[in-house]
Structure 1
Amino acid sequence: MSLSKRLSAEFIGTFWLVFGGCGSAVLAAGFPGLGIGFAGVALAFGLTVLTMVFALGHISGAHFNPAVSVGLVVGGRLPARDLLPYIVVQVLGAIAAAGVLYVIATGKPGYDIAVNGLAANGYGPHSPGGYDLKSAMITEVVLTFGFLIVILGATHKRAPAGFAGIPIGLALTLIHLISIPVTNTSVNPARSTGPALFVGGDAIGQLWLFWAAPVLGAALAGLVFNWLGREE
């Protein structure tokens, strides 16, 4: 596929991930009497990836996440020259999704982004469970590492063909079940950037962690899987 088609697919897929995942948290998680809760939000994030892997994976590889792109470059699955364009359109897709979500959320009387938020990530006083910087850093590095191991394994040439979206989507669901209380779950710098730009303040001040930790975890996974997956 041409680069323009691959980048368009990455924009659409990242938009879907952020709109579906963050949208479930903002619009549905706490809805009186019908709220889906944090388990429902975790499932929503997993479903966004699962559906778009099957829909767009054959076009762009279905990264939808700068950390995934970094891990795949380190793992030898993506040419380094494509990394920056992929990251740019992923971030733009996330910003567009957060913008649409904000417009929808403000249609409800009483919505205040300073109070209700936009599913931004955070630590310390901005962690849903009050977890500190150390806990947030470890959580994001370890879970992104695990996520990339699943992605690299599920898409390996020796893995069963045509099923990669299922373990990848389930892995992202599991990741959210573990870490929503800690950081509201990032493992995706684009997903963190979109909402943070609208929330502002400390959401932007803490954004560095949700770039540094996922990228570090993904790069480590790329290195480790290069060794694990190398044929003797």
Structure 2
Amino acid sequence: MSSLSKRCVAELIGTFWLVLGGCGAAVLAAGFPELGIGFAGVALAFGLTVLTMAFAVGHISGGHFNPAVTVGLAAGGRFPVREIVPYVVAQVVGAIVAAAVLAVIAGGKEGFDLVASGFAANGYGEHSPGGYTLTAALICEVVMTFGFLFVILGATDKRAPAGFAPIPIGLALTLIHLISIPVTNTSVNPARSTGPALFVGGWAVEQLWLFWLAPIVGALLAAVVYRFVGRENVVA
């Protein structure tokens, strides 16, 4: 197996874990009667998935698990542009497989309705948890992804303390979810959005465009800003 193939498999597994863990917490545990983990628990679950898999396979693939991260790192000069497509394909496949596994598990409860439950899909307008508009959702996703990529670029900078990057990255994703779950159910990750949307269908697929566009725009903006802010000064 080639090096790229191994890295893509690592990305598939990492993204699978992110979607299964984060969306699984939302679908199975968030609203459990009396003992539900709520928004805070879901936010922590997403952060833990990235933290654990970044430590597990970050040394193999870089631990992107997110098409927006891959695009942002490429724009920031940290990842080869020619490898964007294989990484993104692996991430999306991992997300879809995770959503399929979650659908089987959730369907094991009598009366579970995948479409009616929303299945942790991302949305705006009437499909936003808090009823937020398209404009609010767009701004939220761009800004949150900007912050996420900025943290990733800083934490993985060669001048940053080595070996600790998964911790601030996981905590950043937790914080992002604490802020934005009421707005869009929090995407900042096109693959994470795609998996559940394909199973919900209808409105979730119709609104999926925003959860590809906004995270990628936010990631590109972060790459541009970090290249300026993080550039080392040359001493004459």
- Unpaired stretches in structure 2, ≥5 consecutive residues: none
Q: Indicate the residue corresponding to 2:159 in structure 1.
A: 158
Aligned amino acid, residue 199 of structure 1: V
| Rounded Cα–Cα distance in structure 2 between residues aligned with 1:176 and 1:3 | 31
Query: How far off its partner does 1:114 sit?
Result: 2.0
* Cα distance in structure 1, aligned partners of 2:12 and 2:143: 26
Q: What CA deviation, in whole Å up to 9, does each residue of 1:7-62 have, x standing for no partner?
A: 01000000000000000000000111210001000000000000011111000000
Q: How does 1:1-232 map to 2 (within 5 A)?
A: 2-232=3-233
Q: Deviations over 1:58-112 (max 9, x none)?
A: 0000000000000000000000000000000000000000000001011100100
Aligned partners of 1:212, 1:115: CA distance in 2, in Å? Answer: 26
Q: In the alignment, residue 231 of structure 1 is paired with which amino acid?
A: E
TM-score, length-scaled by structure 2: 0.97
Provide the rounded CA distance (Å) in 2 between the counterparts of 1:115 and 1:35.
19
Distance 2:109 2:118 in 1: 13
Instruction: Return the alpha-carbon distance in structure 2 between the equivalents of residues 200 and 78 of structure 1.
Output: 33
Whole-angstrom CA distance in 2 between matches of 1:82 and 1:62: 14
Cα RMSD between the aligned structures?
Answer: 0.7
Aligned length: 232
1:157-180 residue CA offsets vs partner (Å, 9 max, x unmatched): 000000000000000000000000
SS at match of 1:144: helix
Task: Give the whole-Å Cα distance in 1 for the aligned partners of 2:195 and 2:11.
Answer: 15
SS at match of 1:33: coil
- CA–CA separation in structure 2 for the residues paired with 1:163 and 1:112: 41
CA distance in 2, matches of 1:111, 1:171: 32
Unaligned runs of 5+ in 1: none
Paired-residue identity, %: 76
**Runs of 4+ off more than 2 Å:** none
> CA–CA distance in 2 between the matches of 1:221 and 1:29?
31
Give, in angstroms, the shift of residue 117 of structure 1.
2.1
Q: CA deviation at 1:230?
A: 1.1
Q: Distance in 2 between matches of 1:170 and 1:49?
A: 9
User: AA paired with 1:26?
Assistant: V
Shift of residue 116, structure 1, vs aligned partner: 1.2
**Structure 2: distance between partners of 1:7 and 1:181:** 32
The residue identity in structure 2 corresponding to 1:89 is A
Query: Aligned partners of 1:216, 1:131: CA distance in 2, in Å?
Result: 20
The 1-side partners of 2:115 and 2:71 are apart by 32
1:161-217 deviation per Cα after TM superposition (whole angstroms, max 9, x unaligned): 000000000000000000000000000000000000000000000000000000000
- Tell me how far 1:228 sits from its aligned partner: 1.2
